[in-house]
Amino acid sequence: MSALLTVEDLSVSFPTRTGVVNAVRGVSFTLGRERLGIVGESGSGKSQTGRAIMGLTPEHGRIAAKRLEFNGIDLLSASKAERRSLRGKRIAMILQDPKYSLNPVMTIGRQIAETLRTHEPVSKAEARKRALDMLAAVQIRDPERVFDLYPHEVSGGMGQRAMIAMMLVAGPELLIADEPTSALDVTVQLEVLGILNRLVAERGMGLIFISHDLRLVSSFCDRVIVMYAGRIVEELPAAKLSEAEHPYTRGLLNCMPRIGADRHPLPVLDRKPEWAL
Amino acid sequence: MTPALSIGNLRVTYDEFDALKDVSLSVAPGESYGLVGESGSGKSTLLRAVAGLAPVTGGMIEVNGNSLGSKRDKAFYRQVQMVFQDPYGSLHPRQTVDRLLLEPLAIHGFDNTESRIVRALDEVGLGSGFRFRYSHQLSGGQRQRVAIARALILEPSILLLDEPTSALDASVQAEVLNLLEQVRAARNLTFVMVSHDLAVVTHMCDRLMVMQHGREVEQLASADLSARRVTQDYTASLLTASEGFRRNG
């Protein structure tokens, strides 16, 4: 199987007044048409990795890599216009909170149709029809009604479905989901993940699922990358998470309270300086 | 024995909307009580109503046997303190940790402020090196420790905890939960803790109430919840949801 995405020795750094901050340091992985999870705590560089692939690193950030290839396209040397034509069309990204990532002054339907019309020469009527179909595909019961609603008029779960609809309407080959369900209630979270799971499988997309929740990621993905201080500390099949070897992964798994486990006090993570080397 | 906190048929109304509908509960001194539910279930509203931060329109609240009116007096806040969810939003950005901790002491006319501040910082594991820093110079976990120190410095008997760890990383959450358990044991505190995370609540609390749409769904012991001895379908569905995603499920 040829790789959809190849990342080799990716680093992202930000110059600041107090020196250069290396957010991502030498990350390498390849992605096929599979579900890859990237897990880590705040500041581990997981989101910056996703953003670098998407081409959303802030202007002042510096990206360096030996290879950053998407379907044979070198993303590092691609012009801004080329990146723009990829973004939304072939690589899409779902962000954490629909409250902030949807346009508040545009109806949900128009936002979905806009994505489509930006990338494909379709008529207004055709765009509307495909947007409605997409809303139905994310299990929104009354697409006609939701099409004309503004983001503030829908619940978080509904907003996140609209976000997924918007991202998938142009039929991307790679989807990056950055904490797609962290702002949602647990029961809603499962519904949204179920929809995402079905659509990714049906359309044969590659998925990068970025999250701080190790257990959630392992139940959803095929493979998991664990990041710490900008580096990959461990990569393993999701099913074998319990056999993780790195003390950081083990510590992270261990320190979460579990229903039915009587552990007082909870084991805490004993951070070793050598993990960050 | 008089309950530390007793609530009867409590009702909170925002304009026309009933955020809390006839909820009753009783928490014994030294007990740790949890409130779980999804957003909009009224769990935080209940806590805020006790603290005097929500418009109570019916029912009664008693703290250590004393009935509370619509105004809370100083004596109330010496007994009851609250820790909020967002450690970024609950500390004054332009005050040092020292000022933050001095404020409640000054309001309540405590003596030995110097030694109390040092002791409070020690108790939450920060040490006096943090005393003259601003909150933006601290990490999320450190800020939450300052918020806990500020609540404890008045030596309250009841601590209201509104999602105290949901803004923190898992490893930091473990540290803060351990700290809370440790201070509860040391001071025989009563906890009322709100969380959307069933695992956190069952870990921290003896008993809990599951809430939905501003009403009680059921009250049960954490041990019963862990053993899946639940009577309501909603509680069972929350339990299933907290086990994580299942494919083809």
- Amino acid identity of residue A203, one-letter, is R
Token match 């769990």: residue? Answer: B43
Phi, psi of B52 (to 5 degrees): 85, 20
Q: What is the pTM of this model?
A: 0.88
> Is B215 exposed, middle or buried (CB count within 10 Å of its CB: 0-12, 13-18, 19+)?
middle
User: In chain B, what residues touch A271 (CB-CB under 8 Å)?
Assistant: 171
Task: Write out pLDDT tens, residues A195-234.
Answer: 889 888 898 899 999 999 888 888 889 999 999 999 999 9
| Binary contact (A185, B177; C-beta < 8 A) | no
Residues of chain A with pLDDT under 70: 1
Task: Write out pLDDT tens, residues B4-43.
Answer: 999 999 999 998 889 999 999 999 999 999 999 988 899 9
Q: Which residues pair with A232 in a beta bridge?
A: A227
Give A14 to chain B, closest Cα distance, Å.
19
Q: Which of B52, B68, B54, B53 is nearest to B8 (CA)?
A: B68
pLDDT recorded at residue B245: 80
pLDDT recorded at residue B249: 41
> Which pair of structure tokens corresponds to residue A274?
């050598």
| Alpha carbon distance B59, B11 (integer Å) | 6
Cα-based distances in Å from A213 to A217, A249, A256, B132: 6, 11, 10, 34
Q: Which DSSP category does A88 fall into? A: T
- Conformation bin of residue B65: beta by default, left when phi > 0, alpha when psi is -120 to 50: left
> Which pair of structure tokens corresponds to residue B74?
């100083």
| Binary contact (B182, A265; C-beta < 8 A) | yes
Specify the length of chain A in residues. 277
Cα-based distances in Å from A174 to A117, A136, A146, A191: 19, 21, 26, 21
> Which pair of structure tokens corresponds to residue A82?
């080329």
| Alpha carbon distance A106, A148 (integer Å) | 9
**Helix locations, chain A, DSSP H:** 46-54, 80-86, 98-101, 108-119, 124-137, 143-147, 156-168, 186-203, 214-220, 247-254
Sorted by sequence, the CB contacts under 8 Å of residue B84 that are 6+ apart come out as B90, B147, B162, B164
Kind and range of the H or E run holding A207: strand A206-211
Q: Give the E-state strand segments of chain B in sequence order.
A: 5-14, 17-27, 32-37, 56-63, 66-67, 80-83, 158-162, 190-195, 207-212, 215-221
| Alpha carbon distance A136, A164 (integer Å) | 12
Distance of CA A268 to the CA centre of its chain: 28
| Alpha carbon distance B215, B196 (integer Å) | 15
| Binary contact (A42, B169; C-beta < 8 A) | yes
pLDDT recorded at residue B28: 96
pLDDT recorded at residue A274: 83
| Nearest chain B residue (CA) to A193 | B245
| Alpha carbon distance B175, A34 (integer Å) | 35
Task: Write out pLDDT tens, residues A174-196.
Answer: 999 999 888 888 888 888 888 88
> Which pair of structure tokens corresponds to residue B41?
């279930």
Question: Which of A187, A220, A269 has its CB closest to that of B237?
Answer: A187
User: How many A×B Cβ pairs under 8 Å?
Assistant: 91
Sorted by sequence, the CB contacts under 8 Å of residue A57 that are 6+ apart come out as A12, A48, A51, A63
The ipTM (two decimal places) reads 0.82
| Alpha carbon distance B237, B230 (integer Å) | 10
Q: Which residues pair with A31 in a beta bridge?
A: A5
Mutate to test the interface with B, among A190, A198, A212 (most CBs of B within 10 A): A190
Each residue's pLDDT expressed in tens, for chain B with a length of 249 residues = 789 999 999 999 998 889 999 999 999 999 999 999 988 899 999 999 999 999 999 999 999 999 988 888 899 999 999 999 888 889 999 999 999 999 999 999 999 999 999 999 999 998 888 999 999 999 888 999 999 999 999 999 999 999 999 888 888 899 999 999 999 999 999 999 999 899 999 999 999 999 999 999 999 999 999 999 999 999 999 998 888 787 654
SS3 annotation, A136-204: HHCCCCCHHHHHCCCHHHCCHHHHHHHHHHHHHCCCCCEEEEECCCCCCCHHHHHHHHHHHHHHHHHHC
User: In chain A, what residues touch B141 (CB-CB under 8 Å)?
Assistant: none
Peptide bond into A265 cis (omega under 30): yes
Q: Which of A207, A209, A224, A228 is nearest to A25 (CA)?
A: A228
